[in-house]
Amino acid sequence: MRINKTDRGVAGLTILLSVIVMLFVIGLLVMVFSLMGGELRDATYTSTDASATNESGFYLNGTTFIVDNAGKQDFSAFVVTSAHNFTDGAIIGVGNITSGATGTIVNATSTWNPAFQVNISYTYTYNAENTATQVMNDTTAGISSVTDWFNIFIVITAMVVLILLVVIIITAIRGSGMLQGGA
């Protein structure tokens, strides 16, 4: 009994299609887990109230000064509580300063000399990282790095398909009778 194959010329195609589908599913899962990890990270920040007392270096000459809030997630609720002249300690009323919620300070009036350096005290709120956010950052970064392996999967799959083709060609040549057994 002889079985005829009807799928000639498609050697390794099913393997190749399987790998492509597998890479697509892995990519989809990586995307979903990365998005979920980002949302979980944002949900685990700790809301923190902080303040700075007599921070120096402010020269309010009518331009906007921005408080250093680098690295503070969702910096908000910024309020200037007091301002003092740096040289003589004279109190400058906070009514002379306009402060924005994101850490901006502007000399609102001309009742004091803007050339003097000013020490400012202020309070603010921000979301601080904690152990849970650090774990989520590490997990999300680890999951996201899976796609770096896709090139390796594609090369290995191509090698398997080529080896499979060579084996099929050798088997076809042997079965055709072109090769004769020698003594």
In this prediction, residue 115 carries a pLDDT of: 66
Closest alpha carbon to 106 in 69, 62, 76: 62
Contact 67, 103 (CB under 8 A): yes
Model confidence band, residue 113 (pLDDT cutoffs 50, 70, 90):
low
Instruction: In whole angstroms, give the CA distance from residue 25 to residue 13.
Output: 18
Domain range summary for the chain, segments of one domain joined by +: 13-42+133-163, 47-128
pLDDT exceeds cutoff 70 at 4: no
**Each residue's pLDDT tens digit, 8-62:** 555 566 777 777 888 888 888 888 888 888 788 777 888 888 777 777 766 666 5
Report which of 163, 153, 86, 166 is spatially closest to residue 118, judged by C-alpha positions: 86
Q: What pLDDT, on a 0 to 100 scale, did the predictor assign at position 180?
A: 64
Give yes or no for a contact between 140 and 38, defined as CB atoms under 8 angstroms apart: yes
